[in-house]
Amino acid sequence: MRKLLKFLALPLVAALTACGGGGGSPGETNLPYTIKLTTAKSQLPINIGNEIASTGAYARFTTTLYVEARTGNTAIPGGEDIFACNVAGGLDSGALYYLDGKEEHMVEVDDGKGGTVKVPAAYRSIVLGSNAGGASFHFHAGDKAGTARITCSVTNPADKRVSTASVDIVVGAVTGNPANVIGTAQAPGYLGSRENSANIRNNVAISALVMDDANQPAPAPAAANVQVSIRPFGASSGARLISGSQSGSVLQVKTIGGEAQFSLSSGPNSGVILLEMVADRSDNNVSNGIQDPIMQLLAVPVVDNIASGSLAISDATITVVNNVPSAYALSASGGLPPYTWSALGGLPAGLTLSSSGVISGTVSIEPGDYNVVVQVTDSSGATVVRNMKVTVSGALPTPAPTPTPTPAALSIVLAGCAGDANTTCALPGATVATPFLYALTATGGDTTKPVTWTANPTPPAGWLTLSAAGNNGVLSGTCPAPGVHVFFITATRDTQSDTRKVSITCT
């Protein structure tokens, strides 16, 4: 039987012993052991959705590994506990699995619906039996990019020498291009005003997480890759940012593991300090200028005291200008900060309200007043709802007139024939005493207008009639005698026309 030590909570533990194998004793041999480890896929995508390990065509995040050992040119004897394999590096990027569906290799997890579901268990190390000198197991990618090194070993029972083999599996990739910035204030998420008498700290640590396209932390930069500034708003007067020797309303810092850390000190006023955090997508470097900004706002409340009164929303009206990017941090008083904000309805199109209370975006709507319902909840769970007014100013830009496209030249389509009106184009031949039918087509011109068809001479060839069927011209008739008949066809659409010389041979 396989001996299992499954993951309990977060740690990865060893080990798994597989059933099966060839049975019997590993045997004795004087020849050295050799071991080989291969993988079906050496690169896997990042498992962003945390899909469970599986096999088959739809197992995008799982690969099968094969281990085998030989003594000379012969497979080593079968038996239990022959191969020991483990994730020797890159454990954050994935784990080992034995996907045989057996109960002993499954673990119960929360299904998110109040119940549980059994899924394959993950292992850091496994011990496998030998069957015909080999065994197989699986590696399943996690949600972090990196390179996982899988190492397997086998011990020769004759001389106790250990032979090893390794294989690397690359999970995803770090693009190095910032895609978003996420700001977080140190708990409790607010700070006191500089001269507050309630002994509330007036400096708080701030973290800016920079993530790339694959939602992985930005790689370690060579220069500062996050610029932080205090917007002139609310309680910004006298506030400053601090990082090492830098101090002021703007600073630039490097990330470590995707995190840029600095601190914010308040000024004398209570209210909201609005921080702007910017990364540069073009080169992950803000010290040489910002070419392609990736920006996020973070509102940090500043209070004079705690629970000085009932929770209340301070703002009643805000103003935004059409086609101008706006950002406004709502403020609350009383209750127990920090506060969580949400919009219950009425926000003009183009504006959003963040959980930290920042209304931001760009509107392009009819000027006027718009009623908005906002809600704030303090950390004790108290909630207040208020009707607010968003005033939109600035006229909408006059849309540029849509140019009328110039229609393409009208042209009669005759297969296999090109040239001007004097080039004779042969139509399909006709047979004497047999009804003849041919549809003419034309392209181009004003397609909203119909096409009319005429012939010269009329009737064409003396025995044909030309009629319209939709936008097509239809030639029909019965050829009375052998001969070649030449005539002109003209298509007219609105102010454009095209004339072609055609012939029909009767046989």
The more confidently predicted of residues 26 and 177 is 177
pLDDT of residue 36: 96
Edge-to-edge strand list for the sheet holding 411-413: 411-413, 435-443, 472-478, 464-469
416 has pLDDT over 90: no
344 has pLDDT over 60: yes
Do 312-393 and 178-303 fall under one CATH topology?
Answer: yes
134 has pLDDT over 90: yes
C-alpha to C-alpha distance for 255 and 225, rounded to whole angstroms: 7
Q: Domain 411-506, CATH 3.40.50.410 — does that match?
A: no
pLDDT of residue 399: 77
pLDDT of residue 20: 34
CATH class of domain segment(s) 312-393: mainly beta
Closest CA to 225 of 273, 172, 293, 296: 293
C-alpha to C-alpha distance for 209 and 260, rounded to whole angstroms: 6
Question: What is the percentage of the chain residues whose pLDDT exceeds 90?
Answer: 50
The string of pLDDT tens digits covering residues 364-383 is 999 999 999 999 998 878 89
220 has pLDDT over 50: yes
- Partners of residue 498 on adjacent β-strands: 491
The DSSP result for 241-255, as a single string, is EEETTEEESEEEE--
Closest CA to 52 of 116, 2, 121: 121
Where does 178-303 sit in CATH, by number? 2.60.40.10
The more confidently predicted of residues 309 and 261 is 261
pLDDT of residue 130: 93
Closest CA to 350 of 369, 368, 331, 327: 327
Judge contact between 453 and 473, C-beta under 8 A. Answer: yes
pLDDT of residue 230: 96
The string of pLDDT tens digits covering residues 246-276 is 999 999 999 999 999 999 999 999 999 999 9
Residue 93 has phi, psi (to 5 degrees) of -95, -5
Q: What is the band of 445 on the pLDDT scale with cuts at 50, 70, 90? A: confident
pLDDT of residue 30: 66
pLDDT of residue 306: 77
C-alpha to C-alpha distance for 292 and 290, rounded to whole angstroms: 6
pLDDT of residue 3: 38
380-394, 402-416, 417-431: which has the highest mean pLDDT? 380-394
Structure-token pair, residue 23: 């049975």
Q: Where are the domains of the chain?
A: 33-171, 178-303, 312-393, 411-506
pLDDT of residue 307: 66
- Partners of residue 374 on adjacent β-strands: 343, 386
Average pLDDT of the residues in 29-56: 89
33-171 belongs to which homologous superfamily? Immunoglobulins (2.60.40.10)
Structure-token pair, residue 285: 């470097």
Instruction: Say what the pTM is.
Output: 0.59
Amino acid making up residue 377 = T
C-alpha to C-alpha distance for 224 and 47, rounded to whole angstroms: 30
The more confidently predicted of residues 207 and 381 is 207
Average pLDDT of the residues in 66-71: 95
Closest CA to 15 of 89, 82, 79: 82
